[in-house]
Amino acid sequence: MSAAEVACAPAAFAQRPLFEPIARLLAACEGPGLPDANRLSALLHRVAPGVVSGAGRPIRFVVPTADAVDYEARIHATGEVPTRPDDWHDFFNALAWCAWPRSKAACNARHIEEQGVRARAGLPGRGPRRDALTQFDECGMVVACADADIAALLAAHAWEEAFWHRRARLLQTTRFMVFGHGTWDQLRAPFFGLCAKVLYRVIEPAWLALPIAGRQAETDAWLSGRLADPAFLATPRDLSPLPLLGIPGVTSASEGADYYRDTRQFRPPRNRPAAEPGAID
């Protein structure tokens, strides 16, 4: 296998920062090409057996068709997730279903519920709730932190204080868990200004001692419960931006305080209240 083929192989990303929720899945994808829909369906049923849509249909990945059925409505009614062949974006969406099965299903169910609410009210368009759900589905992240002060600093955009002055404490207490498949696609070649849209969660220190798979499953259960709440994520403004290249280890450029003073990337908060971290569970 050539160096170019190795670089394009899914397994090449298994050890990169921020791919932790899907690292074992990437490592299982042998070869330079992307698995097809059938292989991805088999992987899903192996790692997340029993995952179903809101209508109770088993989730499976299929090649898209030319029909005009709404994407979310199709998943809900049939369990079929359109997955384009040899497409990294759709490949990462399939792995998101594997890593976050309960939350992905809850997100899909919320889309359908909100469609119904707006239709009954005679409201046009998607509305802010669906926009927020889509934004989180594409570029969402859960930041779980055992130090409420670190979570509050990040939510307040105190980037230099959180990422640099309290760097050791942040690394000790905080885990950055990507949910959005679009973010993984972008992280294949990270670029200046790359951001995620974040939900902050303050956790007990004992959570950090759980194995990776245990932390992932517990967070999936927590997030799916939040997503099932019709009042949760009322607008995209409920999500807080976080510059991914500020997270220690993502780029070597962050090994200095001056890096965090570039306001083109590390922007101060706008004139609005910062997103509040979640309560300790």
Whether residue 111 is predicted with pLDDT greater than 70 in this model: the reply is: yes
Token pair, residue 1, equals 């296998």
Q: Is this model's pTM higher than 0.85 or not?
A: yes
Handedness of CA 229, 231, 235, 239 (dihedral sign): negative
Please name which of 136, 141, 150 lies closest in space to residue 108, comparing C-alpha atoms.
136
| Strands of 24-75, DSSP E | 60-62
Mean pLDDT, the chain, whole residue set: 91
Q: Is 79 left (phi over 0), alpha (psi -120 to 50) or beta?
A: left
Percent of the chain at pLDDT exceeding 90: 82
pLDDT tens sequence across 39-72: 999 999 999 999 999 888 999 999 998 776 789 9
pLDDT tens sequence across 172-192: 999 999 999 999 999 999 999
Contact 81, 94 (CB under 8 A): yes
Contact 240, 200 (CB under 8 A): yes
Of 16-20, 66-70, 132-136, 144-148, which gets the smallest average pLDDT? 66-70
Token pair, residue 182, equals 């679009």
Whether residue 278 is predicted with pLDDT greater than 60 in this model: the reply is: no
Please name which of 20, 24, 23 lies closest in space to residue 247, comparing C-alpha atoms.
20
DSSP 28-41: T--SSSPP-HHHHH
Instruction: Tell me how many degrees the CA angle 153-159-160 measures, rounded to the nearest 5.
Output: 110
CA 204 – CA 101 distance, rounded (Å): 24
Contact 196, 244 (CB under 8 A): yes
Contact 188, 88 (CB under 8 A): yes
Of 56-70, 125-139, 204-218, 255-269, which gets the smallest average pLDDT? 56-70
What number is the average pLDDT over the span 234-242? 95
